[in-house]
Amino acid sequence: MTAAGTHPQADVPPRRSGRRANHAAAHAFRPWRRWPAVIASVVLMALGIIAAIEIISALFGGAARIVPYEPLRRWATSTPWNDPAMLTGAAIAALLGLVLLLAALIPGRPRLVPLRTGDRDLIMGMQRRSFTNAVRHAVEDVDGVREAKARLRRGRVRVTATTSLLTAAPRLTEAVRQAAAAKIRALAPVSTPDVKVTVRDGKGRRHGT
């Protein structure tokens, strides 16, 4: 579990303070993708190196001509803007730029599960594995459950419980769901995930909610 501090907080109503605390916690542990910036930096650095080589070599009496400028110039001057090849190249470049921009702006999956604290100056997060392990242990404490697995993905906790009983009655399935939901409430995540339960009975049949 991780805690982090933020900026000092002025006096605000408790409800508004709680919303601000939840908002701060939800965004504190959400990573931003860095590879679009890395790609752009590498491309710009390569272009800068090529330009520097061409300029320096020209100053010393002979251009390096790493880039075939003359064929490119002839192609550019002889190709109209409405040429299919020109339009296709422009569309591909625009699409790649848009993909890199969206990848940089849209954050990735949170590294930690943000927890409620009620104070935006105190931000706490729990490792995803620790979160699902806590839910799994709670389910395994249910009478009739032999073992359980729990996964957290896309705002939903999927619980799979195995029982030695030949018939998994709906009561056991509901007990598993309630145990998982109770543990999630006790952990108090900022965004409460849905719970989906699957119970496998002694005959290998699946029962779910």
- Rounded to whole angstroms, how far apart are CA atoms 200 and 189? 28
Cβ atoms of 51 and 44 closer than 8 Å: no
Gap between the Cα atoms of 107 and 154, Å rounded: 14
pLDDT at 62: 72
Structure tokens at 4: 């982090």
Does the pLDDT of residue 92 top 60, yes or no?
Answer: yes
Residue 192: the pLDDT is 86
State residue 51's pLDDT score. 81
Distances (CA, A) of 128 to 134, 158, 198: 10, 13, 20
Cβ-proximal residues to 11 (8 Å cutoff; 6+ apart), any chain: none
Residue 183 — very low, low, confident or very high, per pLDDT cuts 50/70/90?
very high
> How far, in Å, CA of 5 to CA of 125, rounded?
12
Cα separation of 54 and 67, whole Å?
9
Record the tokens describing residue 207, joined without a space.
């029962």
The one-letter code for the residue type at 145 is V
Asked whether the predicted pLDDT for residue 127 surpasses 80, the reply is: yes
What's the pTM value of the predicted model, to 2 decimals?
A: 0.57
Residues 145 and 103: their CA atoms lie apart, in Å, by: 42
Cα–Cα distance between 103 and 35 in angstroms, integer?
8
Of the segments 19-28, 33-42, 94-103, 161-170, which one has the largest average pLDDT value? 94-103
Q: Report the chain's mean pLDDT, rounded to a whole number.
A: 78
Residue 149 has pLDDT above 80, yes or no: yes
Provide the pLDDT for residue 9.
44
Backbone Cα Rg of the chain: 28
Mean pLDDT of all residues in 145-161: 90
Question: Is residue 175 a contact partner of residue 141, using CB atoms and an 8 Å limit?
Answer: no
pLDDT at 11: 46
Total residues found in the chain within this entry? 209
pLDDT given for residue 59 in this prediction = 78
Q: How crowded is residue 200: how many other Cβ atoms within 10 Å of its Cβ? A: 17
- Say if residues 109 and 29 touch (Cβ distance below 8 Å): no
- The pLDDT score that the predictor gives to residue 77 is 80
Between 115 and 14, the more confident residue is 115
Residue pLDDT, tens place only, 22-55:
665 556 566 666 677 778 788 888 888 888 887 7
Across the strands, what pairs with 124? 3, 115
Q: 106: pLDDT confidence band, cut at 50, 70 and 90?
A: confident
Give percent above pLDDT 90 in the chain. 20
Q: Identify the structural domains of the chain with CATH numbers, from first to last.
A: 35-105 (no CATH), 127-208 (3.30.70.1350)
What is the pLDDT averaged over residues 67-87? 79
